Chain A
Amino acid sequence: MCTMIAHQVKLEGRGKSGPEWFEVREANVSYDHPYDLPLEHALNIDFVNEAMGPGTRVSVELSVDAARKLLQTIEAVLAQADARGVLEDIPLGAIGSGKA
């Protein structure tokens, strides 16, 4: 892309791509050209599992304002959960994959 501003974070989660859920192992966060959002640059997040090929992904393309609001909202939700004592900060690996 033309800015090449991209970071990858390894993480644990699940994503839904089509009818099936898949194990999310990486999130690719970039500020570069979006595919569908009609802006020159956007904050793009691709939740992927590289081992499962390039088609396994959940993607969002956000305006800068939307990205900041999302970030603030995630922080607010986590803070609220923490304040109520329900935050389960346990690595997924510690409790197994949950799959047979």
Chain B
Amino acid sequence: MSQAYQTDQYEGMISETVSMKGHNGDPILAYVARPLGTGPFPGMVVIHHAPGWDEWYRECARRFAHHGYISISPNLYHRDGHGTPEDVGTKVRAAGGAPDARVLGDLEGAIAWLRGLPNLSGKVGIFGTCSGGRQAFLAGCKLKGLDAVIECWGGRVVMSKEELTPAQPTAPIDFTKDLSAPILGLFGNEDKSPTPEQVNQHEAELKKHGKNYEFHRYDGAGHGFFYYDRAAYRQEQAVDGWKKIWAFLDKNLR
């Protein structure tokens, strides 16, 4: 762990639901976890996965806060109605996912929310898993104000023409030249979305454009190997992946 702490030190955080301005200025809900204190603290935008804005992402936001980051996780499905995360997630699944333009607007709003805080250090990163990994990469390419991107098993960064839809009209890999921040990518070699071959294409494009990237690929892991509440969880790979995350953020946001 990068944040080695002492048993006699003070710790504290606040976590709560807030309202923020998302795409088109729409008010949407977000979950915020932040360390207590005047800081200054770096910020993190935490993007929930396709199945929904669920408990794992609240815990994830608190984990970033525990490590000294003011974290905000916007509900990217806010306009799709309210209910349990599963209920709303199945609705969005049926619709083929959230539209990229709206997601980018919401993420831009989350970055602006962080940048409006008096105790932000000035550095902001973004983290996402699954579809959120794809959206983190997309944000790194299309939005300003990011200093680090963490993409965990972003499916459909590489998309065939047949996969393009009005809601997701461009394959994110086509925006690689616009990536404006260092990127850390974590992938399982047994994943089917993205496949190792798609990760190869993703990496080749980053290399081609001279981007600052760091990819780690894990044997014995498939999709979602951080999810300790799923059969996909892989303890050894997940622990190492988190170590890579803390080291990457120490380097780029501190």
Please give, as numbers and ranges, the residues of chain B lying within 8 Å of A93 by CB-CB distance: none
A55's partner among B83, B94, B163 (CB-CB below 8 A) is B83
Residue B78 lies at the interface, judged by CB distance under 8 Å to chain A: no
Residue B86 lies at the interface, judged by CB distance under 8 Å to chain A: yes
Please give, as numbers and ranges, the residues of chain B lying within 8 Å of A54 by CB-CB distance: 80-83, 87-88, 90-91
Q: Interface-forming stretch among A39-47, A64-72, A74-82? A: A39-47
Residue A73 lies at the interface, judged by CB distance under 8 Å to chain B: no
- Contact status A35-B51, CB under 8 Å: yes
Q: Chain A's nearest CB lies how many Å from the CB of B145?
A: 27
Residue A53 lies at the interface, judged by CB distance under 8 Å to chain B: yes
Please give, as numbers and ranges, the residues of chain A lying within 8 Å of B97 by CB-CB distance: 1, 4
Residue A63 lies at the interface, judged by CB distance under 8 Å to chain B: no
Please give, as numbers and ranges, the residues of chain A lying within 8 Å of B191 by CB-CB distance: 40
**A40/B223 contact (C-beta < 8 A), A3-B155, A54-B81, A55-B84 known:** yes
For window 1-25 of A, CB contacts with B under 8 Å fall at 1-4, 6, 8
- Contact status A55-B87, CB under 8 Å: yes
- Contact status B96-A6, CB under 8 Å: yes
Give Cα A33 to B91, complex, Å: 13
Please give, as numbers and ranges, the residues of chain B lying within 8 Å of A4 by CB-CB distance: 96-97, 156, 163, 165, 168
B131's partner among A1, A6, A30 (CB-CB below 8 A) is A1
Please give, as numbers and ranges, the residues of chain B lying within 8 Å of A38 by CB-CB distance: 230-231
Residue B193 lies at the interface, judged by CB distance under 8 Å to chain A: yes
Q: Chain A's nearest CB lies how many Å from the CB of B122?
A: 33
- Contact status B83-A1, CB under 8 Å: no
- Contact status B93-A30, CB under 8 Å: yes
Please give, as numbers and ranges, the residues of chain B lying within 8 Å of A53 by CB-CB distance: 81, 83, 87
Residue B117 lies at the interface, judged by CB distance under 8 Å to chain A: no
Please give, as numbers and ranges, the residues of chain B lying within 8 Å of A50 by CB-CB distance: 91
Please give, as numbers and ranges, the residues of chain A lying within 8 Å of B83 by CB-CB distance: 53-55
Residue B192 lies at the interface, judged by CB distance under 8 Å to chain A: yes
Residue B130 lies at the interface, judged by CB distance under 8 Å to chain A: yes
Residue B185 lies at the interface, judged by CB distance under 8 Å to chain A: no
- Contact status A46-B223, CB under 8 Å: no
The proximity string for B residues 100-115 relative to A, scoring 1 for CB distances below 8 Å and 0 otherwise, is 0000000000000000
Q: Across the interface, name the chain B residue whose C-beta is closest to A46.
A: B90
Residue B222 lies at the interface, judged by CB distance under 8 Å to chain A: yes
Q: Across the interface, name the chain A residue whose C-beta is closest to B81.
A: A54
Q: What are 19 contact pairs spanning A and B, CB under 8 A? A: A1-B130, A1-B131, A2-B193, A6-B96, A28-B93, A32-B50, A33-B50, A33-B224, A38-B231, A39-B231, A40-B191, A41-B192, A44-B90, A46-B93, A54-B82, A54-B90, A55-B84, A57-B87, A59-B90
Interface of B toward A, CB cutoff 8 Å: 50-51, 80-84, 86-91, 93-97, 130-131, 155-156, 163, 165, 168, 191-193, 222-224, 230-232
Q: A3-B193, A33-B224, A54-B82 are in contact. List 19 more A-B contacts (CB 8 A).
A: A1-B50, A1-B51, A1-B93, A1-B97, A2-B131, A2-B156, A4-B156, A6-B95, A26-B94, A32-B93, A35-B90, A40-B191, A46-B93, A50-B91, A53-B81, A53-B83, A54-B90, A54-B91, A55-B83
Of all A-B residue pairs in the complex, the 3 with the closest CB atoms, nearest first, are A2-B155, A28-B94, A38-B231
